[in-house]
Structure formats: structure tokens, C-alpha cells
Amino acid sequence: MLKVKDLAVKYGMIEAVKGVSFQVKKGEIVSLIGANGAGKTTIMHALSKLIDYEGEVFLEDKNISKLKAFQIVKESLAQVPERRRVFSDMSVEENLKLGAYLNSNNQEIQSDMEKVYKYFPRLSERKNQLAGTLSGGEQQMLAMARALMSRPKILLLDEPSMGLAPLLIKEIFNIIQEINKNGTTILLVEQNAKMALAISDYAYVLETGKIILEGSGKQLSDSQEVKKAYLGG
């Protein structure tokens, strides 16, 4: 589904991502784990072309490295960015409509909205509330719902657990699994390695801009190195 080859990103002189290659197979949940500052968000921004990069990215065998950010959404790749970035001065419903920006069929938009409200019933109770007034968990749900409105084949999630209470994290991760079961491939970025590995088919460990380890979710959870560095012993 998604193949990344030798992806490298520099911020001025600083090499934040130093040539990483990985892939996400269709139907899987793949996660990218690593400590704060490892370069996870940079990779996510690169994949959506919010920043320029070297290297190549293929989405279903199509080279998307030369596309602009808005064109990548057309290729059915959506992202739930770090810190949600909902449009806080707009209502929940307007945020969802923006998620469906590329869809001009109003009936489809309506039925998609019904679908995402099924994943997130709490949002449907708050349709007309301004996104900025939602709680952190609700904003995370809105950001996910908004991304789903573009009907992505692959969904990128950047630290969905950030700043949320354990119970809420569990809820969010359950929904991620449900979205995946319904046919959306997932690339998940997390500092919360334990939770991420538990739901992942495959995972990569990122350290200072390089992939240092990879394997199935289970293999990595059992690995001594990962346990020591990311799972607290």
C-alpha cells in the first residue's frame, strides 16, 4: 500500500530524518515508535507533503513524492496530525465538512457523516459546538472523524494518545482497530509504545532519524532492547 524509500528531511543544517525506508501493507496496522524528537512527526509531515523531502514515496505503486499536499489527499491518504489541529473556531460539523472538502457529492457527505458519528457518538451530540470548546479526547475524535470524511485508503495517525487519560486512550485505540477492520490501512506513530505494539501487525523503531529495529508487534514487545528503552524495563 505505502512504500517509503530513503526518506530524508533536513531543517536547515539539522538532519531530522536520515534516510528511512519502510512499508505498510494493505489492511495492516503498522506503527512507528520512538522517543520524543526521534523524527516521527517529521516523517508524517513528509508523507503528507507538508514539508519537502528527499527520497521516494509510493502509494499503491504510484510515486507521490512530487505531488503537492492537497493532491496527496486526492490519492486517498489522510492524516490525523499531532496535537489534533482541529479548526477551533468552527463547529464540529464544519470541521467534518472540511474533511470532505474534495467530495462534491452532498449525499455521500451526509452518509459519511452518519458513519463517522457511529464511530464517535459523542461528536454527534456536539454537532454545533465549536471545536475549540471540546475536551482533548473529543478533539482527538473530531480530528479522526474529520480525516475519515475524505474516505482514505490509508490513515496516518500522529500520537493519538497524547495528553489523554488511560481510559480514553483505550477507547481511541479500540476505534482505531475498528476503523482498520472496516478496511482502512493504518500507519500509527506513537511514543506510547506498549499500546501501539499491542495493536500493530508490524512496527518500526525510530531513533534520532533512523530506523534501528523492525518486526511484528509481538516480536518487538518481547524484544529486550525495546523493553528497556521504551516499555520501562
Strand arrangement, sheet containing 154-158:
77-80, 154-158, 185-190, 29-33, 202-207, 210-216
Instruction: Based on the shown chain and the rule CB under 5 A, indicate whether residue 41 belongs to the binding site for Mg ion.
Output: yes
- Using CB under 8 A, which of 74, 170, 218, 228 touches another protein? 74
- Using CB under 8 A, which of 99, 137, 160, 217 touches another protein? 99
Each residue 36-75 as x (binds ligand ADP by CB under 6 A) or -, in order, gives xxxxxxx---------------------------------
Near another protein by CB under 8 A, which window of 65-73, 115-123, 134-142, 185-193?
A: 65-73
Copy the grid coordinates of residue 91.
463547529
First to last CA, the chain: 34
Containing 56, the helix (H) or strand (E) segment is: strand 54-59
- Residue 82 one-letter amino acid: E
Copy the grid coordinates of residue 151.
474516505
Q: Which does 48 bind (CB under 5 to 8 A by kind): another protein, Mg ion, ligand ADP, none?
A: another protein
Instruction: Based on the shown chain and the rule CB under 8 A, indicate whether residue 70 belongs to the binding site for another protein.
Output: yes
Copy the grid coordinates of residue 194.
506498549
**3-class SS string, 168-207:** HHHHHHHHHHHHHHCCCEEEEEECCHHHHHHHCCEEEEEE
- According to CB under 5 A, which residues from 69 to 108 bind Mg ion? 82
Find the shortest distance in angstroms from Cβ 92 to ligand ADP.
Answer: 27
Each residue 122-161 as x (binds another protein by CB under 8 A) or -, in order, gives ------------------------xx--x-----------
